[in-house]
Structure 1
């Protein structure tokens, strides 16, 4: 309840996570039938880059603001950056004044037949979401923790859904809690696409999580990571996303796009991209 994402909004983890989120949504839109996006840790929805929280860390400078300075991004990355610029309320000089969180990015990409389901338990986040999406009939906001949100919202009426799980990982047992919630959700709705984001300092907790996922019976599972520098136990140098039931050819798309993002972040010499099937088809 004490976590405030405003300190970290627009950092390299956000760029990585939200780029993949937009790719997933675009894949869902290949079919005409409607779908739901369930953002189980929705947060505020939008974050000031000129407020006290962002000013204390300046993480956006090395994240989204650096990537926005790319001279010639590929078409897919250019589309993502264009969306961030439009939603980021640029000032008269074209500089972002805010960074759009996953709810705003997702909502901007949805069609009339699609729905956005948001849940959070932080009072400030819920108030912000209510302001952003007041009277929006395609958006439903609930004051529920992620596990309860998955139980109450899955399976959706359309039988098509993308679920984003990106908790703050403040609790030492967060990976265990995620795995428990995922297993229950998968039993109820095995055809859903589940995107689980995680930060990386030490690799061992992540490896343990993936070993448990591989033994869970859920499949297929694709994992991708971006490392800005060698990992250690103290500094956040990596960000990952594990996707259950990924769309067809997403792995190929990420294989082409993430090295470009790594270079845009200035880490092509010190970092690396990881992309592998935790559990193949």
Structure 2
């Protein structure tokens, strides 16, 4: 698949990814020490929902638009607040025409001493990104392959922060690239938070990535089961033909509050955003207790 962000801005997959990112950044803000955000596939930062791409594929109408129009329970609204505050501020209370990508969410949630490093290989997108953030001294934009950049960018001097890996999945072996990237980066920065987005289209590949990553982390003692969180949302039967039905993230070193927040909000999101029968969600650790038992390992 080729997941160009401009065509899918604000859809259910973006909602899930950006809720997770916002919650991770809000947690980092609880301590005064500065931190760094590294985005390996940054896109253009902000998306025009009235533009050509979003008009041709208005997936945002079944994503962020539904959320803003819905009556949200108080406990759900509290979890979504960091994310929705940004969307509302960008549209200034008017009709929904702008949507934040990960760089814009990072820009708006980080503080004056925090730093952001954005990598984007696509030439036109990198130019757009660089122009957009040229006046913000906290942000560095680099036209570079994000996977290749990761090894040199970690650990950051701030020692705190996160990496978000959100590729367009233009290559059949994208999952392998993601796995190699974390294998190079995590030993150098074992305390960083890593967010890996992947579609739920090739289920075999997603499952292989999830379980393979978890097994490697535990075998190398870079993480324990509570340090790996898998979060998925699907809006119709995953076996159905057609458009992307599901997507999610694997988070390494998630904030300790993240799982509970997502368990609060995901049932409501799933019910609101479902498009057909067969919708669902999950929050787990990628490896179940029986997986450890089969391997003779102990939890």
Higher helix proportion, which one? 2
| Same fold flag (TM > 0.5) | yes
User: SS in structure 2 opposite 1:190?
Assistant: coil
Question: Residue 85 of structure 1 aligns with which residue?
Answer: 88
- Please point out which of 258, 280, 286 is paired with 1:278: 286
Question: Residue 158 of structure 1 aligns with which residue?
Answer: 158
Alignment of 1:265 onto 2:265: no
Alpha-carbon distance in structure 2 between the residues aligned to 1:243 and 1:79: 19
Question: Residue 168 of structure 2 aligns with which residue?
Answer: 168
Question: Residue 227 of structure 1 aligns with which residue?
Answer: 234
User: SS in structure 1 opposite 2:116?
Assistant: strand
User: SS in structure 2 opposite 1:162?
Assistant: strand
Alpha-carbon distance in structure 1 between the residues aligned to 2:4 and 2:128: 13
CA offset digits 1:155-201 (Å, max 9, x no partner): 00011120000101121100011000110001111111100011112
Alpha-carbon contact 2:3-2:169 (below 8 Å) kept: no
CA offset digits 1:38-83 (Å, max 9, x no partner): 0110000011111111111111111111111112352222442221
Alignment of 1:254 onto 2:265: no
Shift of 1:110: 0.7
Normalised by the length of structure 1, the TM-score is 0.92
- Specify whether residues 153 and 106 from structure 1 end up closer, same or farther in structure 2 by C-alpha distance, changes over 3 A only: same
Alignment of 1:113 onto 2:124: no
Shift of 1:253: 1.3
Alpha-carbon distance in structure 1 between the residues aligned to 2:232 and 2:274: 16
Alpha-carbon distance in structure 2 between the residues aligned to 1:65 and 1:168: 23
How many residues are matched? 277
The runs of 5 or more residues in structure 2 that have no matched partner are 289-298
User: SS in structure 2 opposite 1:230?
Assistant: coil
Q: CA RMSD in A?
A: 1.9
Alpha-carbon contact 1:202-1:233 (below 8 Å) kept: no
Between 208-217 and 44-53, the greater mean CA deviation after superposition? 208-217
Alpha-carbon contact 1:202-1:231 (below 8 Å) kept: no
Alpha-carbon contact 1:259-1:268 (below 8 Å) kept: no
Alpha-carbon contact 1:229-1:267 (below 8 Å) kept: yes
Shift of 1:269: 6.3
Normalised by the length of structure 2, the TM-score is 0.87
Question: Residue 180 of structure 1 aligns with which residue?
Answer: 180
Alpha-carbon distance in structure 1 between the residues aligned to 2:101 and 2:152: 23
CA offset digits 1:112-155 (Å, max 9, x no partner): 12111100111121111122211211101111111222122110
CA offset digits 1:10-43 (Å, max 9, x no partner): 1111111001100000111111111001011000
Alpha-carbon distance in structure 2 between the residues aligned to 1:123 and 1:159: 30
User: SS in structure 1 opposite 2:69?
Assistant: coil
User: SS in structure 2 opposite 1:47?
Assistant: strand
Between 38-47 and 144-153, the greater mean CA deviation after superposition? 144-153
